[in-house]
């Protein structure tokens, strides 16, 4: 039986949707803490270790202990560091993920068969906005590296520049390919248009290019040459300690969660569920968001698993992979997406 909504509530539904979306976005910050724990436990299982197990049940309070340690550590700064750059770099890194958060829907609810995405805001060009906001973090990384007055930090930042330039192009082309086929740059419309026929089946090459480029953009192994400890100590973040290091570390994990959401939304069908589930007054409220979260966690586990399954590439191999392999594949996929979009549109 359909849910009866009082008439005075109907005009408030967009505001309610935005408020719920904002609360769920806040939940992502807590989820980032869970992602740290998940990586530690999953990595331990892969390496036949125990992992966190002494602080709280199953080691769940380990991150709380780490946060206390970081908060209480002395805030050291190199003698000849540029104070303006060194002190304010974290603002750019955290701002990048915050600005991305507001445009990424974290689920949807169906009321009387009508879909209400759980997003803080909806934009007609949300996929381009998200990609642009993601690139802001590079400014923070360069500010840390240059302001530290450390050659290892600066080398790590330059490696980050080289990787970003090489992989933003195929990443953008794979996103444009999805938008061309769908006919919209709105991530909500792209997710809605997939139905139960996911884009991963329509554009398998595009999915491969997007996923590899996303891994490189996040700086996850095997693409973490800017932090390679055997060459650069800790790369761009060498001179950071205490909560400065903690904020940079936390921003990286939020970026990883948002990247997992993007994979699920653009290629794995988003929150789409069968019509009988959407029309159910109870399942329609929880199943779409739950379905999306399950996909996101699965992608997150794959990203974590690849860290221990694939060895780190050399920086020259990383650059060759982007320009000589992924870029031609991205262009080929774009042609395929245009042809498929014309066919489906006809």
- Looking at residue 6, its pLDDT comes to 58
Using only C-alpha atoms, what is the Rg of the chain?
A: 21
Q: What's the average model confidence in pLDDT over 226-254?
A: 77
Query: Could you tell me which residue, 5 or 271, shows the higher pLDDT?
Result: 271
- What value, to the nearest 5°, has the Cα angle with vertex 187 and ends 186 and 188? 90
CB-based contact 93:140 (threshold 8 Å): yes
Share the mean pLDDT of the chain.
Answer: 84
pLDDT in tens, 203-215: 999 999 999 999 9
Q: What's the average model confidence in pLDDT over 276-297?
A: 88
Q: How crowded is residue 76: how many other Cβ atoms within 10 Å of its Cβ?
A: 11
Q: How far apart are CA 300 and CA 288, in angstroms?
A: 18
- Looking at residue 260, its pLDDT comes to 93
pLDDT in tens, 59-76: 888 888 888 888 888 777
187: pLDDT strictly greater than 50: yes
Q: How far apart are CA 154 and CA 232, in angstroms?
A: 10
pLDDT in tens, 77-86: 887 888 888 8
pLDDT band of residue 1 (cuts 50, 70, 90) is very low
- Looking at residue 267, its pLDDT comes to 95
pLDDT band of residue 346 (cuts 50, 70, 90) is very low
Q: What's the average model confidence in pLDDT over 97-103?
A: 85
φ, ψ for residue 117, nearest 5 deg: -65, 140
Q: Is 159 exposed, middle or buried (0-12, 13-18, 19+ CB in 10 A)?
A: buried
- Looking at residue 17, its pLDDT comes to 61
10: pLDDT strictly greater than 70: no
Sign of the alpha-carbon torsion through 303, 136, 270, 29 = positive
- Looking at residue 177, its pLDDT comes to 93
Q: How far apart are CA 205 and CA 334, in angstroms?
A: 10
96: pLDDT strictly greater than 90: no
Q: How crowded is residue 69: how many other Cβ atoms within 10 Å of its Cβ?
A: 11
CB-based contact 264:270 (threshold 8 Å): yes
CB-based contact 107:289 (threshold 8 Å): yes
167: pLDDT strictly greater than 70: yes
């Amino acid at each position: 039986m359909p849910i009866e909504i009082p008439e005075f509530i109907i005009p408030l539904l967009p505001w309610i949707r935005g408020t719920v979306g904002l609360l769920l976005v806040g939940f992502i910050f807590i989820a980032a803490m869970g992602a740290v724990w998940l990586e530690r436990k999953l990595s331990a299982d892969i390496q036949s270790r125990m992992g966190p197990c002494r602080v709280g049940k199953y080691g769940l309070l380990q991150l709380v202990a780490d946060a206390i340690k970081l908060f209480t550590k002395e805030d050291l700064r190199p003698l000849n560091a540029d104070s303006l750059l060194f002190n304010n770099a974290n603002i750019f890194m955290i701002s990048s993920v915050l600005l991305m958060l507001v445009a990424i829907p974290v689920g949807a609810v169906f009321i009387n068969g009508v879909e209400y995405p759980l997003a803080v805001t909806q934009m007609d060009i949300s996929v381009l906005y998200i990609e642009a906001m993601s690139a802001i973090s590079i400014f923070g990384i360069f500010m840390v590296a240059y302001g530290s007055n450390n050659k290892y930090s600066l080398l790590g930042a330059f490696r980050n520049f080289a990787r970003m330039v090489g992989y933003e192009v195929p990443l953008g082309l794979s996103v444009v390919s999805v938008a061309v086929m769908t006919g919209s740059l709105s991530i909500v419309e792209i997710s809605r248009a997939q139905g139960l026929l996911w884009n991963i089946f329509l554009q398998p090459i595009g999915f491969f290019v997007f996923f590899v480029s996303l891994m490189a953009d996040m700086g996850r192994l095997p693409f973490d040459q800017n932090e390679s400890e055997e060459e650069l100590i800790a790369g761009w973040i060498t001179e950071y300690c205490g909560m400065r290091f903690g904020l940079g570390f936390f921003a990286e994990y939020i970026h990883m969660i948002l990247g997992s959401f993007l994979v699920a939304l653009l290629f794995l069908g988003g929150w789409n569920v069968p019509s009988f589930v959407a029309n159910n007054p109870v399942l329609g409220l929880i199943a779409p968001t739950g379905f999306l979260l399950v996909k996101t966690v699965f992608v997150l586990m794959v990203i974590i698993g690849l860290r221990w399954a694939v060895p780190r590439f050399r920086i020259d191999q990383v650059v060759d992979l982007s320009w000589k392999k992924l870029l031609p594949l991205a262009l080929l996929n774009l042609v395929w997406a245009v042809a498929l979009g014309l066919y489906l549109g006809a």
